């Protein structure tokens, strides 16, 4: 298993995050974004207003081919796109890259708008109409139909990767995050959450894209409004910090400085890479997932759905991710150690013999038995999110320093009082937080003077975002398995999908998340190859559509 994990991590590093160099897939996605932005004459600016007009239903025609209207297609795609990445991804980018990483997330979103436009235009142009009147579309179809039968192998690679990724990143990881947050906030057992979320997801996805679209059209706006409203309350109460925070974001994007305790590397390339990578993960531009949902839109004009698609990175990254980033920066929690429960066997917790200073890779692993006196580990250093936890306590109020041992049992770390080998203790300390917990702390701090329990807003949003993402990703896998094995395979796929949602809730998924990241990269690569090759088609159909007489020049 250890060897398998090493292989998985090595492959993932080649695709997404090779140390000290620009990640391969980030380069590919960035280059295409720049290329298509210039080729289409900055379509994300010139046609933004037309996208808004289309999504409001101005051009809707029930007689058009398709399964859902423009708003439902956008909501389905946003339900999968707006999710854990908006809550945890921004915090991760700021943790490692500093506030300047948010600027590069903005750049990824601006370029991603043109990429999404291309994907969604091609998805409608090359979709298939099924015998039952429904439609199927996405990269596997525009690869095969747009580039020809000789490219079918590339389409199969995409579809297989999409199915695998739907089980893992789009489903199991979401269920795991929801279960973990509910256990931490309300002490709900993970298997109870797993049964509940699997049942809910199963009920929705059995109904197909029309039920998914109806649920997404209600859920996506509700969860976005809830989250953005909470963020706006915090920003309004901290309005004097908004302009300084925006100045810090822009200045540190080009001249990054490490924050307190070394948070944010202070290295330009690290800031740029983390911003780009988290931005691309959040808005999914170029990864080939959203066009599968947009292909179901009721329209006979491919460009019309393209302009709807370009709204996604704007909403996801330029609005919601920016809100998250400003809340974290204005409350200053990103560079403060916080009182926290320290899970000893979490992947974020490490024990090492020594570190030269905060944020550096540890020199060596700690011994399997460590002694603790008055809260201080005598034989090693504890790292949480790569930064030290100086003193450990046995109570949440952090008034009783821990004295005893921390030792490894069955590959897990446990804490025990001196002379007591039967009772394991929970430990608390001050640590630098990361991911969703950091965002929750920012909301709690920002809302605490307005009403108590501000951290539960993030908990509720994680629940809504995680379930909506799992529901929408099921459709991506559904259309991909249909492409590979035909209609009869769909019911079996849905059964496995629901089961994987429950499995995801009850398991630790570090390796599964990494495998999902790999398949996400394997989805993106054939998709970008096709987008480059078919960019001329996008240019031509765009020119024809916008030259029609019923459209105003700037509409």
Is the pLDDT reported for residue 296 higher than 60?
yes
- Among 46-55, 182-191, 414-423, 500-509, top mean pLDDT goes to 46-55
Phi, psi angle pair for 65, to nearest 5°? -65, 140
What is the end-to-end Cα distance of the chain in Å, rounded? 56
> What is the radius of gyration, based on Cα positions, of the chain?
24
The average confidence (pLDDT) of the chain is: 84
- Among 181-190, 256-265, 525-534, top mean pLDDT goes to 525-534
Ordered by start, the domain boundaries in the chain are 46-336+444-539, 338-431
| Vertex 10 angle, CA 7 and 11, to 5° | 90
Res. 113 pLDDT band, cuts 50 70 90 = very high
Is the pLDDT reported for residue 265 higher than 70?
no
Is the pLDDT reported for residue 18 higher than 60?
no
Q: How far apart are CA 117 and CA 109, in angstroms?
A: 12
pLDDT tens by residue, 245-257 = 999 999 999 887 7
Is the pLDDT reported for residue 96 higher than 70?
yes
Is the pLDDT reported for residue 405 higher than 60?
yes
DSSP for 70-106?
A: HHHHHHHHHHHHSSHIIIIIHHHHHHHH-TTHHHHHH
pTM, two decimals, is 0.84
- Among 21-30, 332-341, 397-406, 432-441, top mean pLDDT goes to 397-406
The strand pair at 128-129 and 135-136 is best described as: antiparallel
Quote the crossing angle between the two packed helices 302-309 and 70-81, to the nearest 10°. Answer: 40
Q: In this predicted structure, which of 322-336, 348-362, 535-549 has the lowest mean pLDDT?
A: 348-362
Residue 464, both tokens: 């809504």
Q: Which residue has the higher pLDDT, 459 or 303?
A: 303
pLDDT at res. 235: 94
Is the pLDDT reported for residue 176 higher than 90?
no
Q: How far is CA 145 from CA 32, 60, 114, 387, in A?
A: 21, 27, 22, 51
Q: What is the mean pLDDT of residues 282-288?
A: 87
pLDDT at res. 553: 45
Res. 207 pLDDT band, cuts 50 70 90 = confident
Cβ neighbours for 127, distance < 8 A, ≥ 6 positions apart: 135, 136, 137, 138, 141, 295
Element (H, E) at 370: strand 369-373
DSSP for 124-152?
A: HHT-EE-TTS-EE-SHHHHHHHHH-GGGH
Cβ neighbours for 131, distance < 8 A, ≥ 6 positions apart: none
Q: Which residue has the higher pLDDT, 12 or 326?
A: 326
**CATH number among 3.40.1190.20, 3.30.70.20, 3.40.50.150, 1.20.1740.10, domain 46-336+444-539:** 1.20.1740.10
Q: Which residue has the higher pLDDT, 210 or 312?
A: 312
pLDDT at res. 549: 46
User: In the chain, what percentage of residues exceed pLDDT 70?
Assistant: 90
HEC profile for 199-256? HHHHHHHCCHHHHHHHHHHHHHHHHHHHHHHHHHHHHHHCHHHHHHHHHHHHHHHHCC
Is the pLDDT reported for residue 14 higher than 60?
yes
Q: What is the mean pLDDT of residues 68-93?
A: 76
User: In the chain, what percentage of residues exceed pLDDT 90?
Assistant: 40
Q: How far apart are CA 272 and CA 206, in angstroms?
A: 42
The region that residue 66 occupies, defined by phi over 0 for left and psi between -120 and 50 for alpha, beta otherwise, is: left
Quote the crossing angle between the two packed helices 101-125 and 268-283, to the nearest 10°. Answer: 30
Q: What is the mean pLDDT of residues 348-363?
A: 64
pLDDT at res. 511: 66
Is the pLDDT reported for residue 392 higher than 60?
yes
Q: Which residue has the higher pLDDT, 285 or 512?
A: 285
Q: What is the mean pLDDT of residues 430-448?
A: 84
pLDDT at res. 197: 93
Q: Is 291:528 a contact under the CB 8 Å cutoff?
A: no
| 70 closest CA partner among 338, 386, 383, 297 | 297
The strand pair at 349-352 and 387-388 is best described as: unpaired
Q: What is the mean pLDDT of residues 113-133?
A: 93
Is the pLDDT reported for residue 281 higher than 80?
no
pLDDT tens by residue, 409-435 = 877 888 998 777 778 888 999 988 877
pLDDT at res. 2: 62
Res. 210 pLDDT band, cuts 50 70 90 = confident
Q: How far apart are CA 390 and CA 382, in angstroms?
A: 8
Is the pLDDT reported for residue 474 higher than 70?
yes
The owner of tokens 């890259």 is 97
Cβ neighbours for 151, distance < 8 A, ≥ 6 positions apart: 143, 144, 530
Q: Is 386:425 a contact under the CB 8 Å cutoff?
A: no
pLDDT at res. 105: 93
Q: What is the mean pLDDT of residues 44-62?
A: 87
Q: How far apart are CA 305 and CA 123, in angstroms?
A: 9
The region that residue 261 occupies, defined by phi over 0 for left and psi between -120 and 50 for alpha, beta otherwise, is: left
Q: What share of the chain is helix, strand, coil (3-state, %, to 5)?
A: 65, 10, 25
pLDDT at res. 551: 53
Phi, psi angle pair for 327, to nearest 5°? -65, -45
Q: What is the mean pLDDT of residues 281-288?
A: 85
Q: What is the mean pLDDT of residues 105-132?
A: 94
Q: What is the mean pLDDT of residues 289-299?
A: 89
């Amino acid at each position: 298993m250890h060897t398998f994990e090493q292989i998985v991590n090595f492959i993932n590093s080649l695709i997404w995050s090779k140390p000290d160099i620009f990640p391969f897939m980030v380069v590919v996605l960035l280059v295409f974004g720049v290329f298509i932005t210039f080729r289409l004459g900055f379509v994300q600016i010139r046609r933004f207003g037309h996208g808004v007009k289309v999504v409001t239903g101005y051009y809707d025609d029930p007689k058009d081919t398709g399964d859902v209207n423009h708003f439902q297609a956008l909501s389905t795609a946003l339900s999968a796109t707006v999710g854990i990445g908006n809550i945890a991804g921004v915090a991760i980018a700021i943790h490692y890259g500093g506030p300047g990483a948010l600027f590069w997330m903005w750049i990824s979103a601006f370029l991603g708008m043109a990429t999404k436009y291309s994907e969604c235009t091609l998805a409608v142009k090359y979709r298939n109409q099924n015998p039952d009147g429904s439609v199927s579309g996405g990269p596997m179809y525009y690869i095969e139909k747009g580039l020809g039968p000789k490219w079918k192998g590339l389409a199969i690679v995409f579809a297989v990767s999409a199915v695998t990724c739907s089980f893992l990143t789009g489903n199991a990881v979401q269920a795991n995050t929801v279960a973990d947050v509910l256990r931490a906030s309300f002490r709900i057992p993970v298997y109870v959450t797993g049964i509940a979320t699997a049942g809910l997801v199963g009920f929705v996805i059995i109904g197909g894209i029309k039920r998914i679209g109806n649920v997404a059209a209600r859920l996506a706006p509700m969860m976005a409004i809830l989250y953005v409203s909470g963020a706006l309350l915090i920003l309004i109460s901290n309005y004097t910090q908004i302009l300084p925070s925006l100045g810090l974001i822009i200045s540190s994007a080009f001249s990054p400085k490490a924050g307190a305790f070394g948070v944010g590397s202070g290295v330009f390339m690290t800031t740029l890479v983390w911003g780009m990578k988290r931005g691309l993960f959040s808005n999914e531009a170029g990864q080939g997932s959203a066009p599968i949902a947009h292909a179901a839109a009721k329209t006979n004009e491919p460009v019309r759905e393209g302009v709807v698609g370009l709204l996604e990175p704007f909403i996801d990254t330029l609005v919601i991710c920016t809100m998250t980033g400003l809340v974290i920066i204005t409350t200053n929690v990103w560079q403060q150690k916080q009182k926290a429960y320290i899970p000893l066997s979490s992947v974020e917790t490490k024990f090492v013999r020594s570190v030269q200073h905060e944020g550096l890779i540890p020199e060596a692993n700690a011994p399997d038995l460590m002694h603790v006196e008055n809260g201080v580990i005598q034989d090693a250093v504890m790292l949480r999110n790569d930064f030290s936890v100086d003193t450990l306590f046995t109570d949440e109020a952090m008034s009783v320093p821990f004295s005893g041992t921390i030792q490894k049992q069955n590959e897990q770390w446990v804490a025990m009082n001196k002379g007591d080998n039967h009772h394991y203790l929970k430990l608390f300390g001050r640590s630098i937080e990361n991911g969703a917990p950091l965002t929750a702390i920012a909301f709690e701090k920002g809302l605490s003077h307005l009403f108590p329990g501000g951290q539960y807003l993030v908990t509720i949003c994680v629940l809504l975002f995680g379930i909506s993402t799992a529901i929408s990703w099921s459709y991506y896998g559904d259309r991909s398995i249909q492409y590979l094995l035909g209609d009869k395979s769909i019911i079996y796929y849905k059964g496995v999908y629901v089961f994987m949602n429950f499995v995801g809730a009850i398991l630790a998924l570090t390796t599964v998340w990494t495998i999902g990241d790999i398949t996400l990269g394997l989805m993106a690569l054939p998709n970008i190859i096709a987008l480059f090759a078919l960019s001329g088609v996008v240019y031509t159909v765009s020119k024809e559509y916008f030259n029609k007489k019923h459209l105003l020049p700037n509409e």
